[in-house]
Amino acid sequence: MKGLIDMKGVNFSGPRVIKGSNYDSSQPGTTTPRIITVTSGKGGVGKTSLSVNLGISLAKAGNEVVIFDADLGLANVEVISGLAPPLNLYDCLQGRADIKDIITPGPAGVKIISGGSGFSELANLSSSSLQNLTDSLGILDDEADFIIIDTAAGISKNVLAFVASVKELILVLTPEPTSITDAYSIAKVISKYSLHSEINVIINRAAGQKDAGQTLMKFERACLNFLGLSVNYLGYVPEDKTVFEAIKAQVPLLIYKANSPAAKCIPKIGDNLSNKCNEDLSVNTGIREFTGKLARLFRR
């Protein structure tokens, strides 16, 4: 497909993690966070709102959570969270700030890092500069249990780099036919380049459980029958006007109205995601490996 990253020769294997813990066998005695990319086939499906509120839910459950705003053109994570970070990753790469300076305290203890144009600049770093950056980012391996990467929508080169650089992927879609079709387009690329053998799915803005189930069945059947991809269903969030009220108020839904129908579903999704960690813990690779993969892919 024209314009996509050449994935050939990229090693996506990472250190094994012993089941039932965050133990990284390559570095005895260390822990590594679960790094999860959240993406969607099209805009307007509520991906960023879900990323922020899922992060808050995980934080309320006792986890240390960092959210990277990796939409290189916009800053929707900050907008939804009611924040205006003065510095971003680009400032760090330009030597105007340290990593700790660009970490913004967010709601419920979540930490937010604005990517700005910093991620795309990884392609231009020298080997020594990249090593310095990965070493600096290494503090997140000690301070985070989950790192959530909120990307732009679609199948651009940048989005695919974030998809390819992590072990865990969440794909957000709605029951709308165009959303299902665009989500399937991402799945086709994932299958073609063998980026993942399984996709985690959240159905957003569903009319109810039945509507979500029917949407899941359509998408899962297509992925299994035509692509050989497994789909892991994390849950659904119903259509709820409170979500739009929270976005307008620039307050995350779980803080704006935690007892709303949509908000009540998000902790269940967080629990499903956390429980999945106990079933297959070969997912933790750490921020250093993530950054290295991302830089290699941006350079292609």
Please report the domains of the chain, with CATH numbers, ordered by start residue.
Answer: 34-298 (3.40.50.300)
Side chain identity at residue 7, one-letter code: M
pLDDT of residue 11: 40
pLDDT of residue 284: 65
Beta-sheet strands, E only, within the chain? 34-40, 65-70, 103-105, 111-114, 146-151, 168-173, 198-206, 230-238
- b/e code 156-177 from CB counts within 10 Å (16+ = b): eebbbbbbbbbbbbbbbbbbee
Cβ atoms 22, 154 nearer than 8 A: no
CA distance 155 to 162: 11
CA distance 187 to 203: 15
pLDDT of residue 280: 54
DSSP SS3 for 173: strand
Task: Name the token pair of 141.
Answer: 């391996």
Closest of 255, 261, 231 to residue 55, by C-alpha: 255
Side chain identity at residue 38, one-letter code: V
Residue-level pLDDT, tens digit, the chain, 300 residues: 434 445 444 443 333 232 233 434 344 335 689 999 999 999 999 999 999 999 999 999 999 999 998 886 677 899 999 998 888 888 887 788 888 899 999 999 999 998 775 666 765 667 777 777 777 788 888 889 999 999 989 988 888 988 999 999 999 999 999 999 999 999 999 999 999 999 999 999 999 999 999 999 999 999 999 999 999 999 999 999 999 999 999 999 999 999 999 999 999 999 999 988 655 555 566 888 888 888 888 777
pLDDT of residue 90: 80
Residue carrying the six token digits 């937010």: 112
